[in-house]
Amino acid sequence: MSDAAGRPPWWARGLLFENCTCQVICPGHIHFSQLCTHERCKGYWALRIDAGAFGEIDLAGVKALVVFDSPRHMIDGGWTERVLVDAGATEAQRQAILRILTGGAGGPWELLARFVSTRLEARVAPIVIEDAPETKRATIRGLLDAVVTNITGRDRSRPVRFENIFNQIHASSQVLATGTTHYDDGVIVVSTDRTHGLHSEFEWNVV
């Protein structure tokens, strides 16, 4: 049953990883009131939905990328953002994930949408996501090459983690990593080399 705003219930769980221009660890990841490393914080969130539904629409298998360019003090707003959806998604899935990631469906992305002042036109592109124990990679031929690699801890059999950290979109347990990204869509350019990165198994539920 839809809510008063006509939004259907939805849920999703899967893989979420990120990289930005901040040094490890991004202050804005801890809280948007912290000052990021540089005058602009540029980066992305990449996601793969393993199971989920938006009303009657099955979201399993949907992949997407949210690319952003924000001021150093992220809580001030003024972000520029673009959403890219995998070309393998159906039209119904594309519309659903765009509604979610631009904040129109409620939940965690609605809160993040408050900081976006310039929303660039969404794009559809073939997104490839590779998920290995030590690395996560997202590629779009001619547009994106991004990888996050786990930080090595004292016990090399286990990843280094944030535990019990509050974050709107990530799980409370997050694996720390470094990331290297090359992305240029003509408006947002992200170029990093072993800067802030992490990944988690997210779960969102809006009823």
Q: Is residue 172 part of a domain?
A: yes
Q: Is residue 110 part of a domain?
A: yes
Q: Is residue 2 part of a domain?
A: no
Q: Is residue 204 part of a domain?
A: no
97: containing domain: 10-198
| Burial class of residue 146, CB neighbours in 10 A (0-12, 13-18, 19+) | buried
What is the reported pTM?
Answer: 0.96
Contact call for residues 186 and 69 (beta carbons, < 8 A):
no
Q: Is residue 151 part of a domain?
A: yes
Cα 69 to chain centroid distance, Å, stands at: 13
Ordered per-residue pLDDT tens for the chain, 207 residues: 667 567 899 999 999 999 999 999 999 999 999 999 999 999 999 999 999 999 999 999 999 999 999 999 999 999 999 999 999 999 999 999 999 999 999 999 999 999 999 999 999 999 999 999 999 999 999 999 999 999 999 999 999 999 999 999 999 999 999 999 999 999 999 999 999 999 999 999 998
Domain tally, the chain: 1
Beta-carbon contacts of 67 under 8 Å, excluding residues fewer than 6 positions away, are 43, 44, 81, 82, 83, 84, 183, 185, 188, 190
Q: Is residue 3 part of a domain?
A: no
